[in-house]
Amino acid sequence: MKKIVAISLVAACSIFAATINFNEAKDEFTRVNPEQSKGVVLSYNSSIAEAKKSVVNISTTKTTTTGSGFDQMFNDPFFRDFFGFNFKVPQDKQKSTSLGSGVIISSDGYIVTNNHVIEDSDEILVTLLESEKEYKAKIIGTDPKTDLAIIKIEATDLKAIKIADSSKIMEGDIVFAIGNPFGVGGSITQGIISGLNKDNIGLNQYENFIQTDASINPGNSGGALVDSRGALVGINSAILSRSGGNNGIGFAIPSNMTKEIAKKLIEDGKIERGYIGVMISNLTTEQKEIYKNKDGALISSVEKGLPADIAGLKRGDLIIQIDDKQIKNANDLKNTIGSLTPNKEISLTYERSGKIETTKIKLANMQQPNLGMRDGSAISGLSVTPINDEARYRYKIPQDIVGVLVTDVKPNSNADKFGFQKGDIIIQIGEENIVNMNDFNKALLNSKSKKTLVWVNRGGVIQGLVIK
């Protein structure tokens, strides 16, 4: 069944490579406070009645792999030393089901949800909140970096939700979370906007969350967060909780980001992001005393051969503006560059030594950052890349680990025979410590005519591989 989903994804990218017209909510509205009056019951029933028709239940089935009862023994370093690191741990496969929610964004069946709701699914079933009819859904496109995905069902005359401009929402606005918590069916909770532009939560790579105290529980993921008009302001995504229950700290992906990602996934079937090749951080209190600008993204390193390096940017430059957009912090820069398409030329303004400079930069592709990935020619079948922010996020690499990352090992190649694995971090070749690609290439060149010990960090375990 998993093959069917995978095939439908490829087919959908070509068949449904069309545009989408969103059902936009009107920008003209007035905020009012309820007044006390005898014989009057304050109710938002009419406000959410239409929005509720646009929310769906999502049920997924996926095959999971579980280890046997001997996992702990098989993974013991002494056991693996004896039998070899390529020893295969016995594993069992079993089917599991999970529930989530989604929001209809077009009358012909396009639905937005969280990527984690449908990720790795063998089968996706959709039911409307007010109907028992079940639809099989196919994946149109996914974006794990924002935790958004688009699926489609074969149906017509569906109720597409009205989408609000999330840049106009304010803290204190009343909102409603609509979804399928705990699988109990259509449910609505009420709260307010608790905060805006929340980042560094650690949930997604690209974060700009709406925070709300409207109860968001398991099964609500992918559902709608709507304002008191019933217009979509966000896609419910996650909660912060130590117990697993709701503590009044929920997060939703803003509707403006959702629209942008949905449009690209429907039209292109994938997301391509711009990339300049820098590591960045926010200004500390002490650093702000050195710079004239108190906001911006501080460059801590520049990857050689990538757009920022070509444009002449250096460590210590403070990026303060991209085209006409002011950059307030590191997350702001990451989201801004990531929202732009590869090969786009941008104007980047930065502060260096108290002076304001501007340069032009042509963006690389984050998935294929031009000069960033190279093939280890001295080891056939081995592909490596520098450990940048993208690599650290994707492979969960701690900040204190340096080296070069193995991104691919071709079967039956020399790299495969030597024992390299995808995800290995090469930290030393012979006597040479490896910090970057230059170290890697130089060390390989010096070891070309002799047997050499290559040290790799594999999931926190240091191993020595012999190349020849």
Point out the catalytic residue in the list 54, 166, 221, 237.
221
User: Is residue 408 annotated as part of the catalytic site, yes or no?
Assistant: no
Whole-angstrom Cα distance, residue 76 to residue 283? 43
| Token representation of residue 7 | 């095939």
Whole-angstrom Cα distance, residue 324 to residue 330? 17
User: Is residue 116 annotated as part of the catalytic site, yes or no?
Assistant: yes
Whole-angstrom Cα distance, residue 360 to residue 247? 46
Whole-angstrom Cα distance, residue 399 to residue 387? 10
Whole-angstrom Cα distance, residue 209 to residue 212? 9
DSSP 303: -
Sign, CA dihedral 399-404-408-409, equals negative
Point out the catalytic residue in the list 143, 147, 213, 227.
147
Residue 19, CA distances (Å) to 106, 110, 343 in order: 11, 11, 22
Stated as kind and residue range, the H or E segment containing 64 is strand 55-67
Whole-angstrom Cα distance, residue 228 to residue 248? 19
The type of residue at 222 is G
Point out the catalytic residue in the list 54, 116, 255, 332.
116
| Token representation of residue 294 | 């108190």
The total of other beta-carbon atoms located within 10 Å of residue 46's CB is 8
DSSP 27: S
Tracing tokens 């997924």 back to the chain, one arrives at 60
DSSP 54: T
Q: Which residues are catalytic?
A: 116, 147, 221
